Amino acid sequence: MSSLIQKYNVPGPRYTSYPTVPYWESEFFTRELWKKNCKQGFDLTNSKEGISVYIHLPFCESLCTFCGCHKRITKRHEVELPYIELLLKEWQLYLDLFEQKPIIKEIHLGGGTPTFFSPENLHQLITGIFDKSIIHKDCEMSFEAHPNNTTKNHLQTLFNLGFRRLSLGVQDYDPKVQKVINRNQTFHSVAKVTIWAKEIGYTSISHDIIYGLPFQTLESIKDTVEKTKSLNPDRLAFYSYAHVPWIKGNGQRGFNDEDVPKDDFKRELYELGKKLLLENDFIEIGMDHFSTSEDSLYQSYIKNDLNRNFMGYTSSKTDVLVGLGVSSISDSWNSFAQNSKSFKEYEDLINQGEIPVIKGHILNDEDLIIRKVILELMCQFKTNLNFIPHRYFEEFKIVECLEEFILDGLIEIKDTQLVILEAGKPFVRNICMLFDFKLKRNKPNMQLFSMTI
């Protein structure tokens, strides 16, 4: 394994989309093109499967130095209502674009810290969205929560609105690690919110753990996983820390590079955590995700309809995702669009009656083929090579690369199907990169992506 880590530990995308954001051709993108594609996608799929809605709530009271999300640090809670007003105005701009009421199949509140907002303000936001929509009978509603500021009132308010899944950011329970990443929270605070949620009736509770954090040890991983298991979450995300301070600026400069586990040792942290999770009846689902056999994520996985998009892995499949809020990304299946990251520009565009997207990508035929291939590899650990036109095999020397993966024991080919073996699952990003033709055609910028291992 050590030699494979050295060989394959290179910068690479996490493939929440294809093409990945750095290779979007925004010079060919316009707001009018996005509106046209979004409306077409909506008209084709809304009545059949509904749409997904992602709402970005970017505020946090303090900066976690491991975080790569788009956020604004403030303790001023008077920002809540003006931001909600903008979100509802943006939603109305999409409603004006569509000719029928949207059927919401999935809604997710991400951040930032969604529970920065008061329960009353979250209620106003969600009812403002729902009042002008139809809620699908199987709608999945989820939100991200910070254990330190999530109250029982938060949980009850969102439960009453239909939310049944929440994700708690745990990261690591070691006080030394918590101090350096500025995420000081006790096991008691996580346990309290988890128990409240179970008592209220939430059916899917997820804990997020990160490996590869500064000063992390095998003992701290073991302790964190054991404490997590004692609370019996339904899902667990076991993420690799993406150390990209050149992108995220001062936020990831709160420690020295040599304090961050690398290469073989970082892989040891992952392998120990994974071993403990599997021993405790969690099942590996896709990349970095584990669940119990009763959870809907596992049910989707075994039925081969697991989905992955800008909200991560989901058990709901929709072709249209509307992203609301600063920096949010929307998806109409054949196009992507991202909102402005500037609060002022976002606000100005909405107040001018414009959907606040400022960049995006229109997928061509090749993009759509590769999107399908990479989505299957990320969700099912397999794909059919017949999807890929033969001309690409010669242009990108795909056969030679596949043979190398086979020799390294990472994949096997059955007829025309590529199957990622157990030993290859840690290298799924590398395998996807084989088919990332945009990455291959452009000289990779070492500072665009985190390391794959």
Which one-letter amino acid corresponds to residue 405?
F
66 labeled part of a ligand binding site: yes
d(CA 409, CA 425): 11
- 443 pLDDT tier (thresholds 50, 70, 90): low
Residue 71 CA, distance from chain mean position: 15
60 labeled part of a ligand binding site: yes
Quote the tokens at residue 395: 């242009």
Q: Contact at 8 Å (CB) between 235 and 313?
A: no
Per-residue model confidence (pLDDT) at position 246: 43
* 380: pLDDT strictly greater than 90: yes
Least confident of 124-133, 227-236, 296-305: 296-305
68 labeled part of a ligand binding site: yes
401 labeled part of a ligand binding site: no
d(CA 201, CA 421): 37
1-15+365-443: CATH number: 1.10.10.920
More confident residue, 136 or 448: 136
171 labeled part of a ligand binding site: yes
Tell me, letter by letter, the H, E, C secondary structure of the chain: CHHHHHHHCCECCCCCCCCCHHHCCHHHCCHHHHHHHHHHHHHHHHHHHCEEEEEEECEECCCCCCCCCCCEECCCHHHHHHHHHHHHHHHHHHHHHCCCCCEEEEEEEEECCHHHCCHHHHHHHHHHHHCCCEEEEEEEEEEEECCCCCCHHHHHHHHHCCCCEEEEEEECCCHHHHHHHCCCCCHHHHHHHHHHHHHHCCCEEEEEEEECCCCCCHHHHHHHHHHHHHCCCCEEEEEECCCCHHHHHHHHCCCCHHHCCCHHHHHHHHHHHHHHHHHCCCEEECCCEEECCCCHHHHHHHCCCCEEECCEEECCCCCCEEEECCCCEEECCCEEEEECCCHHHHHHHHHCCCCCEEEEEECCHHHHHHHHHHHHHHHHCEEEHHHCCHHHHHHCCHHHHHHHHHHCCCEEEECCEEEECHHHHHHHHHHHHCCCHHHHHCCCCCCCCCECC
Which one-letter amino acid corresponds to residue 340?
S
Per-residue model confidence (pLDDT) at position 448: 59
* 9: pLDDT strictly greater than 50: yes
329 labeled part of a ligand binding site: yes
The DSSP call for residue 29 is: -
Quote the tokens at residue 427: 């290298």
- 252 pLDDT tier (thresholds 50, 70, 90): very low
* 8: pLDDT strictly greater than 90: no
* 452: pLDDT strictly greater than 90: no
Count CA within 13 A, CB hemisphere, residue 428.
Answer: 25
183 labeled part of a ligand binding site: yes
More confident residue, 371 or 6: 371
Mean pLDDT score, 48-65: 93
Q: What percent of the chain has pLDDT over 90?
A: 78
Quote the tokens at residue 20: 């990945």
- 445 pLDDT tier (thresholds 50, 70, 90): low
67 labeled part of a ligand binding site: yes
Ordered by start, the domain boundaries in the chain are: 1-15+365-443, 16-324
18 labeled part of a ligand binding site: no
d(CA 202, CA 261): 35
Per-residue model confidence (pLDDT) at position 444: 56
Count CA within 13 A, CB hemisphere, residue 451.
Answer: 18
- 242 pLDDT tier (thresholds 50, 70, 90): confident
113 labeled part of a ligand binding site: yes
Q: Contact at 8 Å (CB) between 166 and 194?
A: no
d(CA 422, CA 414): 15
* 223: pLDDT strictly greater than 90: yes
The label of the residue with tokens 């979004």 reads 38
| Residue among 162, 156, 93 nearest 126 (CA) | 162
16-324: CATH number: 3.80.30.20
* 245: pLDDT strictly greater than 60: no
59 labeled part of a ligand binding site: no
Mean pLDDT score, 317-337: 96
Specify the 3-state DSSP secondary structure of 283. Answer: strand
* 251: pLDDT strictly greater than 80: no
- 447 pLDDT tier (thresholds 50, 70, 90): low
Tell whether pTM > 0.85.
yes
- The model's pLDDT over 81-103, given as tens digits with 9 standing for 90+, comes to 999 999 999 999 999 999 899 99
Burial (Cβ within 10 Å: 0-12, 13-18, ≥19) of residue 422: exposed
